[in-house]
Amino acid sequence: MDPRILGGVFLGWALGSNDSANVFGTAVSSFMLRYRTAVILMAVFVLIGALLGGMPGIRTYGSLTSQSVTTAFYISMAAAITVTLMTIVQLPVSTSQAVVGGIVGIGLLQGKLELQSLTKVVLCWIGTPTGAALIAVILYFTLSKLFSKFHLHFLTYDRLMRTLLILAGAYGAYALGANNVANVTGVFFQAKTITAFQALLIGGLSIGLGAITYSKKVMITVGRRIIPLDAFSAFVAVLAEAITVHIYSIVGVPVSTSQAVVGAVVGIGLLKGMRMISKMTVIKITIGWFLTPALGGGLSFAFGHFFGL
CA–CA distance from 199 to each of 14, 51, 55, 236 (Å)?
16, 9, 9, 32
What are the residue ranges spanned by the domains of the chain? Answer: 3-307
13 vs 187, higher pLDDT = 13
Cβ-in-10-Å burial (0-12, 13-18, 19+) of 2 comes to: middle
**Closest among 38, 57, 56 to 222, alpha carbons compared:** 38
List, as one string, the DSSP characters of 47-81: HHHHHHH-HHHHHHHHTT----HHHHHHHHHHHHH
pLDDT digits (tens, 9 = 90+) for 272-305: 775 656 677 677 777 877 889 999 999 999 999 9
pLDDT of residue 224: 57
Closest of 65, 62, 69, 77 to residue 109, by C-alpha: 65
- Rounded CA gap, 46 and 238, in Å? 15
Q: What is the largest CA-CA distance in the chain?
A: 66
Mean pLDDT of 221-242: 77
What average pLDDT does range 214-238 have in this prediction? 74
Question: CA torsion, points 123, 132, 48, 79, in degrees to nearest 10?
Answer: 50
The tens digit of pLDDT for each residue in 21-35 reads: 778 877 787 677 888
Average of pLDDT values for 36-59? 93
**pTM: predicted TM-score of the whole model, two decimal places:** 0.86
Please determine, for residue 226, whether its predicted confidence score (pLDDT) is greater than 60: no
Q: Are 181 and 199 in contact (CB under 8 A)?
A: yes
The 10s digit of each residue's pLDDT in 157-202 is 989 999 998 999 999 999 999 999 988 898 888 888 899 899 999 9
Other beta carbons within 10 angstroms of residue 69's beta carbon come to 17
